[in-house]
Structure 1
């Protein structure tokens, strides 16, 4: 299950490094590249809660295998795509496969383990998230630069096919096949809620991604307004459905669980910073500085190593430090991303200062994310496992989506206002984005402290 989780997460980030090569090969615009990266997250985030409900109804092991099959087939289609439109469509399908596959991981952890064993299992889950997020950049660089048989960027998708086939073969033997409604809540799939949420996310995301390319036409502002209205309608509908005894996508009792509101806020902030940081920095070092895909991927190695080490070891640190880890992580992230921007200022290549800042980003994000996720899920009741898992997985992906759309748009807008994507102009656009990311991380620390106090 964790191997499948790693593969799906790798696919979120592996495309970042491949994006410039994809753009050159398929003649894709900046907006197309944002949709290639963010399209996966759109369907992933919208369908995650429904994927969790499907596992509750039909059995988590069985549904996981169905999602894995769809993900593997879509990966093959992505690797064979002949145009940017095809690739975007197949990325949407790939995200849907992940949305069906991934919620089952947390749900099975919740149902299989208790006490300290559950904490250890959640720690392993968080560590996989940490390593997968950062390793995607490195693996993407290696695969693109290898240019296997002249295939360029395509191996970043095709590598999933043999791995997926192996996991399908093993999963059929070791995963539980039963365990439908009788194991958990008998909640329905809430079709109207799914439609409202999906429409709201799409109407808000698409203009954020395409608005800059189209010079912010009237339709983009209308789409944002309608998306906000539909999100308000979604919230109202879910509240009324819960009062009538129905099964909303997000159960109110899960949101009222101690610490869940704080976890939602912090995970959204940390993933927005993570997604924006990786996407924008990749565009700068490949487009502005002319790094190869391999060098760009290896640039993130310090973040990968430190993120993984911190994600695996934070539980062994002194007990007196534990409550301060997440706020400290946000503060460290804010200082480190600002340091990255300053290191590249003026078109410089950063040097040792930049690599120290990368390590700080990895440590800060791990401290902000891993303890937050583990504490939020460790005490959730088994009957709420599917809803809690779906909620936090959705928040994780929505945060990632927001980061790519908002900060990617900020970078491209700033770059356009400064001129051609040369080293100096690109570094100035990067600095603006890094300060905005630092402000977001600082807000995550302060808001989290305020909410916990209340």
Structure 2
């Protein structure tokens, strides 16, 4: 028997994947959601957890500055480059199977990172760890699209949004706690080893609850579009490598040439995919996904949210650890209000009055702009910011949640189940690129401003932070204006 989703847009998922509509009728979808969101949390955590551990890694392994950059950035490079490929593999071989394969690779690589005896080993295993994340993470959205419908899907997407951004702040907190604890004298190693028992449990549970079918619907027979994969992989590589390494190298000529080449390859990729679709082929991303109402605007908003989020965390970390001299633990705990409020708002915004829903995105960006500016004002004198600072932190969390969660939910609302892999890969890649752009752009602004002000001290660091926060506020304000644009029907 064929059923139709509440939205009336195509058939519901196959019988192998339950649809959670009535509470208490089937716990399998809930357990599936818990498994994939925990895996997502680990992957996002690993983007940020190493930042706090970097000084300890450098001293224990005698790593150079370039080595530390690659330890931190290597994960992000392979993660962002391979996300679209991971989505397509899930579409062809089954999201459940591919998610488990990626999770296994991520877990083994985490163990290898934690046991590394030198920087070369650690860099290589970080690259492998990022590849594992790129294989498993795109399947999360696809599995949510397949497994849930109606209000159950909205709730699942809300949880996805909360985990995605809370993981960024939680990475800083967890890194500070684990490094400061120095468990059994292991120093930095627990920031990687903590993934191993969690990954092992998820693999056992995942084999029980994740679908094991070969593919999700008619799109499973689509080829991998190898020329498209090569073009897109090269374009993303040429974009991400200078974004993560350019600042440390003082933005040399190769970085700018790489960025220019990435723009050319993106244009070639778009032209090739369009021609392939017109010939009746199977492009890497179905053009109808990009043409869905509101998808283009959603991509721009997600880029803005993730750039502001990553830039805010990065610049603030530099200030409170470098300028104010906070310990790794105290620096990590600083982000707790932002993370907690983001999670609460991301999980509850759908319960707010219906008359508010349309205004949530612009209001979220506006609140983010005001709160980020408030953080800059609180620190402007070089002090610790006082009690008002924590109100601003909470405002940043609430604003980012309101800007991100409704945008993501709206972008996926009109995507058909058979296009879930395309949308998952696209939005996951946009999310990662937004974070990289935020760190590169706002991190460069902070460091350049700090250098121009003279020797590092609390006051000069606060001045540099203030400039960065005002720029972040301006970016969020642009997002607020974009939020006023109604989605095309």
Give the match's secondary structure for 2:384: coil
Of 291-300 and 438-447, more deviation after overlay is shown by 438-447
* Structure-2 residue corresponding to 1:432: 467
The equivalent position to 1:14 in structure 2, one of 49, 53, 62, is 49
Q: How do 1:231-242 residues align onto structure 2 when only pairs under 5 Å count?
A: 231-242=266-277
* Structure-2 residue corresponding to 1:45: 80
- The offset of 1:171, in angstroms, is 1.3
Q: Would you say 1:362 and 2:394 are equivalent positions? A: no
Give the match's secondary structure for 2:85: helix
Distance in 2 between residues matched to 1:33 and 1:410, nearest whole Å: 21
- The offset of 1:45, in angstroms, is 2.0
- The offset of 1:313, in angstroms, is 0.8
Q: Deviations over 1:357-412 (max 9, x none)?
A: 11111001110111111122133211111111111111111111111222222222
Unpaired runs of at least 5, structure 1: none
* Structure-2 residue corresponding to 1:441: 476
* Structure-2 residue corresponding to 1:5: 40
- TM-score, length basis structure 1: 0.93
Distance in 2 between residues matched to 1:276 and 1:31, nearest whole Å: 21
Q: How do 1:145-294 residues align onto structure 2 when only pairs under 5 Å count?
A: 145-180=180-215, 182=217, 184-294=219-329
Distance in 2 between residues matched to 1:417 and 1:255, nearest whole Å: 43
Unpaired runs of at least 5, structure 2: 1-35
Distance in 1 between residues matched to 2:187 and 2:455, nearest whole Å: 26
- The offset of 1:246, in angstroms, is 2.1
* Structure-2 residue corresponding to 1:123: 158
Q: Would you say 1:326 and 2:365 are equivalent positions? A: no
Q: Is the 8 A contact 2:77 2:241 kept in 1?
A: no
Q: Is the 8 A contact 2:83 2:428 kept in 1?
A: yes
Of 33-42 and 187-196, more deviation after overlay is shown by 33-42
Q: Would you say 1:420 and 2:419 are equivalent positions? A: no
Instruction: Give the length in aligned residue pairs.
Output: 454
Q: Deviations over 1:203-251 (max 9, x none)?
A: 2333344334333333232222222222222222222222222222222
Distance in 2 between residues matched to 1:453 and 1:110, nearest whole Å: 22
User: Which structure dedicates a bigger proportion of its chain to helix?
Assistant: 1
Distance in 2 between residues matched to 1:452 and 1:270, nearest whole Å: 18
- The offset of 1:38, in angstroms, is 3.6
Q: Is the 8 A contact 1:271 1:399 kept in 2?
A: yes
- The offset of 1:198, in angstroms, is 2.3
- The offset of 1:146, in angstroms, is 0.6
- The offset of 1:433, in angstroms, is 1.7
Of structures 1 and 2, the larger Rg is shown by 2
Q: Deviations over 1:281-331 (max 9, x none)?
A: 112211221111110111011111111110111000010110111111111
* Structure-2 residue corresponding to 1:300: 335
* Structure-1 residue corresponding to 2:143: 108
Distance in 1 between residues matched to 2:159 and 2:253, nearest whole Å: 47
Of 176-185 and 235-244, more deviation after overlay is shown by 176-185
Q: Deviations over 1:90-142 (max 9, x none)?
A: 22221111111111111111112222222222222223224323322222221
- TM-score, length basis structure 2: 0.87
RMSD of equivalent CA atoms: 2.1
Q: Would you say 1:339 and 2:366 are equivalent positions? A: no
Larger RCO (CA within 8 A; separation ≥ 6): 1
Q: Is the 8 A contact 2:95 2:143 kept in 1?
A: yes
Distance in 1 between residues matched to 2:371 and 2:78, nearest whole Å: 31
Q: Is the 8 A contact 1:42 1:398 kept in 2?
A: no
Q: Is the 8 A contact 1:38 1:404 kept in 2?
A: no
Of 141-150 and 178-187, more deviation after overlay is shown by 178-187
Q: Deviations over 1:405-442 (max 9, x none)?
A: 22222222222333333222222222222122112211
Distance in 2 between residues matched to 1:32 and 1:337, nearest whole Å: 32
91 and 449 in structure 1: CA distance in 2 versus 1, 3 angstrom threshold: farther
